Amino acid sequence: MSADAYTFRPATRDDLSLLRAWLRTPEVKRWWGDPAKQKALLHEDLDEPDISMWVVLHDGRPFAYAQHYHVQDWPQPHFSRLPEDACAIDAFIGEPEMIGKGHGSAFLRQLALRLRDDGAETIAIDPDVDNVRARNAYRNAGFRGKCVVETKNGPAVLMLFNA
């Protein structure tokens, strides 16, 4: 899968109906929780300068969402031992037919490499401990780690990008 097949455009208020639809899909709802609550959080975050929010496109078609932020801007206990310049990524694939085909690994690797090029030496992602599909995708993207950490949403696996 060619990395240049993926593009990232900033999420805007015009994307909220698309994001709402994606948040209601079974796989996203399973791991991200209540769609109404998540939509409200995304709506709030659009005005937050310390978070970068992206709609991910494959060959020009929107199919996923990703966000990243410096961990010191959004302090969370499970990130407290990471270097000050560390970035964290959250992401999901919103189009069910795109799941399980390598797209998650490909676009997350591209995003992590972009963050590395922009100066972030440490890039973290923290999937739910039971989200085996995501953990495998992140591993295929170049993230490593087996350390189980406690988050406000329950146990997660702290994985760091290692290109």
**Domains, the chain, ordered by start:** 3-161 (3.40.630.30)
Q: Please say whether the beta carbons of 55 and 8 come within 8 A.
A: yes
pTM above 0.75, yes or no: yes
- The whole-number average pLDDT for the span 48-60 is 95
Which pLDDT value is given to residue 40?
93
Q: Please say whether the beta carbons of 78 and 128 come within 8 A.
A: no
Distance between terminal CA atoms of the chain?
A: 17
- The whole-number average pLDDT for the span 90-107 is 96
163 contact partners, CB below 8 Å, separation of at least 6: 109, 112, 113, 116, 142
Strand ranges for the chain from DSSP E: 6-10, 51-58, 61-70, 87-93, 123-125, 143-151, 154-161
pLDDT at 68 over 90: yes
